[in-house]
């Protein structure tokens, strides 16, 4: 075949002469020469690329809706497709696909089946994908996921953590100059200006002051013991001196240092 095509390409033989010399049909030589061979090398697929994509789409859609299909259900789906199409596949028994066809089906379908239709939802990226180990590792290690995760935790940091972490970094020149940075959420430099860090420091000190003041106020309120003489006892005359209510005239001497002498 290659020698015949080479002879024809070099202009030494026509297709008819190559057919007579090498015993290869002229139509075959013509297709090969013009690259029009419609068939792939090896055993031909039962379905074309478009048909396979449609079958895979139907199976993955059912899995995304929470109804993963078993192998027997996929084989039944293929049979119904062929029956409605009015086609008879001689390699199948009554249009039921065999185990060999299932093993050679596209890799994307096998991955869907191995995941049993389960979907993993990433809160940071607001994205779902097939829940298998490889897909999850690939997603969690992606730069986009890492960036969005850091942006999320950026909003959860307290002021003291922000001041401590950002004060140890050098300013991001790009962000300070343009107000934007392509590494936002994953930049090793700080996007806080000295004025913003100073305001954060002042806010932290003010909050600490308010906290100490409230604590002291609580301690003072607990130390004060307000007690009033019961009104019901004021009119009684049979009370012992230790229980009677003090009156101003009872204090005849204000020299308290001599009391108890």
Task: Label residue 206 by pLDDT band (50, 70, 90).
Answer: very high
Average pLDDT over residues 64-87: 81
User: Look-up: residue for tokens 């192998």?
Assistant: 71
- Confidence check: pLDDT of 38 > 80: no
Whether residue 236 is contained in a domain is answered as no
Q: What proportion of the chain, given as a percentage, has pLDDT over 90?
A: 6
pLDDT at 228: 77
Q: Number of structural domains, the chain?
A: 4
**pLDDT at 238 (0 to 100):** 85
* pLDDT tens digits along 245-258: 877 777 666 666 66
Same domain? 147 vs 162: no
- 108 with 85, same domain: the answer is yes
Average pLDDT across the chain, whole number: 78
Alpha carbon 160 to chain centroid distance? Answer: 28
Asked if residue 229 belongs to a domain, the reply is: no
At 40, the pLDDT band (50, 70, 90 cuts) reads: low
> Is position 87 within any domain?
yes
CB 158 within 8 A of CB 204: no
Q: Say yes or no: 206 and 165 in one domain.
A: yes
- Residue pair 31/83 in contact (Cβ under 8 Å)? The answer is no
User: Do 162 and 209 lie in a common domain?
Assistant: yes
What is the pLDDT, as a whole number, of residue 202?
92
Alpha carbon separation from 192 to 66, 165, 196, 222 (Å, rounded):
46, 11, 6, 43
Q: Using an 8 Å Cβ cutoff, are 4 and 29 in contact?
A: yes
Out of 217, 232, 256, a domain closes at 217
User: CA-based angle 40:43:45, to the nearest 5?
Assistant: 75
User: In this structure, are 13 and 55 located in the same domain?
Assistant: no
CA distance readout (Å), 138 to 126, 147, 152? 16, 14, 20
Segment 189-203 mean pLDDT: 91
Q: Do the domain assignments include residue 110?
A: yes
In a domain, 222, yes or no: no
184's tokens: 């936002």
Give a yes or no: residue 238 inside a domain: no
% residues pLDDT > 70 (the chain)? 80
pTM greater than 0.75 (yes/no)? no
Q: Are residues 138 and 175 in the same domain?
A: no
- What local confidence, expressed as pLDDT, does residue 123 receive? 83
In sequence order, the 6+-apart residues with CB closer than 8 A to the CB of 185 are 147, 148, 150, 151, 154
Higher pLDDT among residues 122 and 260, named by residue: 122
Query: Which residues, in sequence order, are bridge partners of residue 128?
Result: 121
Buried/exposed code over 86-118 (b: 16+ C-beta within 10 A; e: otherwise):
eeebeebeebebeeebeeebeeebeebbebebe
- Please give the residue range of the domain that contains residue 13: 2-34
């Amino acid at each position: 075949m290659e020698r015949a095509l080479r002879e024809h390409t070099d202009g030494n033989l026509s297709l008819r002469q190559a057919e007579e010399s090498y015993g290869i049909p002229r139509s075959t030589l013509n297709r090969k020469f013009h690259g029009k061979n419609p068939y792939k090398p090896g055993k031909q697929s039962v379905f074309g690329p478009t048909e396979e994509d449609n079958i895979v789409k139907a199976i993955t859609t059912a899995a995304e809706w929470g109804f993963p299909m078993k192998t027997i259900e996929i084989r039944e789906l293929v049979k119904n497709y062929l029956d409605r199409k009015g086609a008879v596949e001689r390699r199948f028994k009554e249009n039921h696909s065999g185990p060999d066809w299932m093993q050679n089906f596209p890799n994307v379908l096998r991955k869907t089946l191995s995941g049993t239709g389960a979907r993993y939802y990433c809160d940071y990226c607001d994205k779902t994908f097939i829940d298998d180990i490889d897909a999850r590792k690939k997603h969690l290690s992606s730069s986009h996921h890492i960036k969005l995760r850091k942006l999320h935790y950026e909003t959860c940091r307290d002021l003291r953590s922000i001041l401590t972490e950002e004060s140890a970094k050098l300013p991001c020149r790009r962000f300070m100059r343009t107000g934007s940075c392509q590494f936002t959420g994953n930049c090793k430099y700080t996007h806080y200006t000295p004025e913003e860090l100073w305001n954060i420091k002042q806010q932290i000190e003010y909050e600490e002051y308010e906290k100490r003041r409230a604590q002291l106020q609580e301690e003072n309120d607990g130390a004060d013991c307000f007690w009033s003489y019961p009104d019901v006892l004021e009119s009684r005359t049979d009370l012992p001196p230790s229980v009677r209510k003090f009156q101003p005239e009872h204090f005849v001497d204000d020299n308290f240092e001599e009391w108890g002498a």
